[in-house]
Amino acid sequence: MNDRVLVVIPVWNEASNLHGVVMELRGARPDDDLLVVDDGSTDGSGEMARRLGCRVVTLPFRLGYGAAVQAGVKYGLRREYEVTVTFDGDGQHDPADVAPLLEAVREGVDVALGSRFLAPEAYHGGLLRQGGRRLFSLLLRLLTGLRLTDPTSGLKALGPRGQALFALARFPDRFPDADALVLARRARLVVAERPARMRRSQNRHSMHGGGRAVAYTFNMFLSLLVAAAGRESDLRG
Amino acid sequence: MPIRQKIFFLTIAVVLLLVILELVRRRRLRVEYSWLWLASALTIVLLILRYDLLIWITGLVGAVIPTSTLFFFSILYLALLSLNYSVRLSDLTRQVKELAQEVALLRSDKDER
């Protein structure tokens, strides 16, 4: 139980939620280091994280969710954390769900995902999102044989090999979701899910909202095929 | 091709050539990109001097008038050029991302020390 754990919280203008998220994580997981990756916020999220005593990596401009997570993973790799957890800054994840993911990593899982569909009475998102997620689950199963219920989950725990994968230069850095898992399987990593309760996000600019959903679906679809059909060299350096 | 047209287009092609060479000389245009532009300008010169070449290509691809051959290949050329730019932009995007992450990580190293 003495693994060093880094919790990476990518934020873009989450000043209204960050305080609550950090306090809750501190309460539930006092021994873990918290790293806020400030993805070019303009509302002082980074400053707030610093005042709250978090480690902070400030990206010079907005790179997007995937690249922000990746920056956090790189930070963890350089400081040799055994496990890196990715945790959304908008308050939709529950710190209590981190422990089962860490347990999974300890059991040899490289990429452990928190799935809202394995959890009882959870917020499952709107009909459209659910449909989209089903579609990706199905595609993912066809491409990799992985049976995952929630492949777009932002709550993840990464073991050393998982971290190395996420730090690759050619890692899908827009939205590392289902396509990242395809890569993980191609790199022969072990991927598994654990139940996680998701709350309704407080902040409506959270990643997949609104009219961008269609673009997201299309991009994800392409990205999945690219990940599946990519070259072996994608998995190195 | 009437002599008046020849002179007009030749002038344009020569000016284009000079502009490219000057850009390279001033290091505004990298040498590895310049050959493409030089080749484009020289192609224009060639087609002005040897209009029969264009007519020959027109027959070869089965087009009816040389103008459509010219327009078709111009558009194809521009499309390929922008495809090439998209590829370069993708590379640059990745490089900028890596750099931005590196800068942020180095800065956090410095702050933590």
pLDDT-derived band at A1, boundaries 50, 70, 90: very low
> What does the longest C-alpha to C-alpha distance in chain A come to?
47
**Residues whose CB is less than 8 angstroms from the CB of residue A101 and which lie 6 or more positions away in sequence, other chains included:** A85, A112, A113, A114, A155, A156, A157, A194, A196
Interface touch A173/B97, C-beta < 8 Å: yes
Interface touch A58/B100, C-beta < 8 Å: no
Q: In this predicted structure, what is the pLDDT of residue A226?
A: 78
| pLDDT mean across residues, chain A | 86
How close A92 comes to chain B (CA, Å)? 26
Domain extent listing, chain A: 5-235
Both ends of chain B: CA-CA distance in Å? Answer: 74
Most confidently predicted of A90-104, A160-174, A181-195, B22-36: A90-104
Does the complex come out with an ipTM higher than 0.95? no
Residues A146-157 have a mean pLDDT of 87
Most confidently predicted of A33-37, A115-119, A200-204: A33-37
Q: In this predicted structure, what is the pLDDT of residue A219?
A: 76
Rounded to an integer, what is the distance from CA B43 to the centroid of its chain? 12
Interface touch B97/A170, C-beta < 8 Å: no
Over 70: is that where the pLDDT of A118 sits? yes
What global pTM score does this model have?
Answer: 0.83
Which residue among B94, B97, B108 places its CB closest to the CB of A57? B108
Q: Which helix (H) or strand (E) holds A34?
A: strand A33-38
**Which residues of chain A make contact with B93, given a CB cutoff of 8 A?**
none
Over 50: is that where the pLDDT of A127 sits? yes
Question: Given the structure tokens 């070259």, which residue do they identify?
Answer: A231
Residues A174-178 have a mean pLDDT of 71
The better pLDDT of the pair A161, A209 is held by: A161
User: CB contact, 8 Å: B97 with chain A?
Assistant: yes
**Which residues of chain B make contact with A37, given a CB cutoff of 8 A?**
104
Domain extent listing, chain B: 1-49, 63-113
Interface touch B108/A74, C-beta < 8 Å: no
φ, ψ for residue B95 (rounded to 5)?
A: -65, -40
Among chain A residues, the shortest Cα distance to B90 is held by A170
Interface touch B101/A55, C-beta < 8 Å: no
pLDDT-derived band at A172, boundaries 50, 70, 90: confident
Residues B3-23 have a mean pLDDT of 92
Q: In this predicted structure, what is the pLDDT of residue A22?
A: 96
Q: In this predicted structure, what is the pLDDT of residue A146?
A: 83
How far apart CA B25 and CA A14 sit, in angstroms, is 49
**Which residues of chain A make contact with B94, given a CB cutoff of 8 A?**
169-170, 173
Instruction: Tell me the fold of A5-235.
Output: Spore Coat Polysaccharide Biosynthesis Protein SpsA; Chain A (3.90.550)
Residues B51-60 have a mean pLDDT of 93
Lowest mean pLDDT among A145-149, A168-172, B87-91, B92-96: A168-172
pLDDT digits (tens, 9 = 90+) for B93-111: 999 999 999 999 999 999 8
Sequence letter at residue A143: L
Lowest mean pLDDT among A16-25, A173-182, A185-194, B25-34: A173-182
Over 60: is that where the pLDDT of A203 sits? no
pLDDT-derived band at A212, boundaries 50, 70, 90: low
Over 90: is that where the pLDDT of A61 sits? yes
Residues A67-76 have a mean pLDDT of 96
